[in-house]
Amino acid sequence: MTLDKFTLARDELEKICTYCPDRECYMVFCILHSAEYLGDHEGKSHPCIACNLNDGLAKIYKFLDENKKPVDIEYSFTIYILLCYLLVEKMHTIFRYIGISYEYVEEKWWVLIEIRKWANFIKHPKGFLFSHHSEYFYENEKITKDFINCKQINYDNFIKPLYSSENPKKFKQTINEFANKDDLLVIIPCPERIAKELNVACNEFCKKIKDNEHFKEILKKDSVLEKYYEDELIDDESSD
């Protein structure tokens, strides 16, 4: 079972969280500093959400870049999806603040919902906690004959229905279903696919802000420091 998919995910995220124009790589949220987005034509204001969102992306990329020879697929997936989740929660905070509905995100940027639900599975394993040493395979990977008879846990049959809402009855059912089972196979999403779809969602989110004057008005009110670079220059001069 190859783990190169995490390297491919890193290569995909490199396009939106590093700056290298020759390779068509740009820090995607930096565009929010532009006047057409949340900045101004004089270049004096500073939208803080651009930096905070870029920081979230950078953490994902840093992990993938440093984890070049992963030996444990469960560990790598856990850290990867939780770091993605932290970025997604930042984006959802902005969505709620400016009025982008959950239904819109579900329709247009489904990967953000998918990431959140997988993260909830990791944080709140429910009855899965009582199973023994489950195996992990990627969604697009051929299952070897040694695991062909294992009970499969995937997004559609477990993650999506169970983590849509809190349900004590379903929780107890999962304990009955998984307690002392040692033949479980968790089918996790392909890291490269998640990275590609996250790439699209981040770019489209920025464009959504650019095209909506109402969103820009709301965000400029509470997330933009006016005369930021002018004040920064004064501070630098006073410290000389």
pLDDT recorded at residue 229: 45
CA 1 to chain centre: 24
DSSP-derived letter for residue 147 is G
Confidence check: pLDDT of 53 > 60: yes
> Cα 25–28–29 angle (5° rounding)?
150
Residue 53 falls within a domain, yes or no?
Answer: yes
Confidence check: pLDDT of 187 > 50: yes
pLDDT recorded at residue 54: 94
Residue 182 falls within a domain, yes or no?
Answer: no
Residue 82 falls within a domain, yes or no?
Answer: yes
pLDDT recorded at residue 170: 80
- When comparing pLDDT for 240 and 179, which is higher? 179
Residue 232 falls within a domain, yes or no?
Answer: yes
Quickly list H helices, 3-47. Answer: 4-17
CA distance 136 to 81: 14
Over range 115-131, report the average pLDDT: 94
Burial 226-239 (b: 16+ CB within 10 A, else e): eebeeeeeeeeeee
* pLDDT tens readout for residues 94-120: 999 999 999 999 999 999 999 999 999
* Residue-number span of the structural domain to which 47 is assigned: 11-124+190-238
pLDDT recorded at residue 1: 47
CA distance 48 to 77: 29
Residue 68 falls within a domain, yes or no?
Answer: yes
Listed as own residue / partner, the contacts of 9-13 with beta carbons closer than 8 Å and 24 or more positions apart are 9/64, 9/80, 9/191, 9/192, 9/194, 9/195, 10/61, 10/64, 10/65, 10/195, 12/192, 12/195, 12/196, 12/199, 13/57, 13/60, 13/61, 13/64, 13/195, 13/198, 13/199
Overall number of domains in the chain: 1
- When comparing pLDDT for 180 and 225, which is higher? 180
Q: Are 148 and 114 in contact (CB under 8 A)?
A: no
Confidence check: pLDDT of 231 > 90: no
Over range 204-217, report the average pLDDT: 95
**Terminal Cα distance for the chain, rounded:** 58
User: Which of these ranges, 51-65, 88-102, 125-139, 168-182, has the smallest mean pLDDT?
Assistant: 168-182
pLDDT recorded at residue 88: 98
Give pTM, 2 decimals.
Answer: 0.87
Residue 140 falls within a domain, yes or no?
Answer: no
pLDDT recorded at residue 86: 98
Q: Are 194 and 115 in contact (CB under 8 A)?
A: yes
Reading the block at residue 179, the tokens are: 């307690």
Residue 73 falls within a domain, yes or no?
Answer: yes
* pLDDT tens readout for residues 69-87: 777 899 999 999 999 999 9
Residue 69 falls within a domain, yes or no?
Answer: yes
Q: Are 193 and 13 in contact (CB under 8 A)?
A: no
Three-state DSSP at 138 gives: strand
User: Which of these ranges, 175-184, 196-205, 218-227, has the smallest mean pLDDT?
Assistant: 218-227
pLDDT recorded at residue 19: 75
Over range 187-205, report the average pLDDT: 97
- Confidence label for 24 from pLDDT (cuts 50, 70 and 90): low
Q: Residue 135: how many CB atoms within 10 A of its CB?
A: 18
Three-state DSSP at 13 gives: helix
- Confidence label for 3 from pLDDT (cuts 50, 70 and 90): low
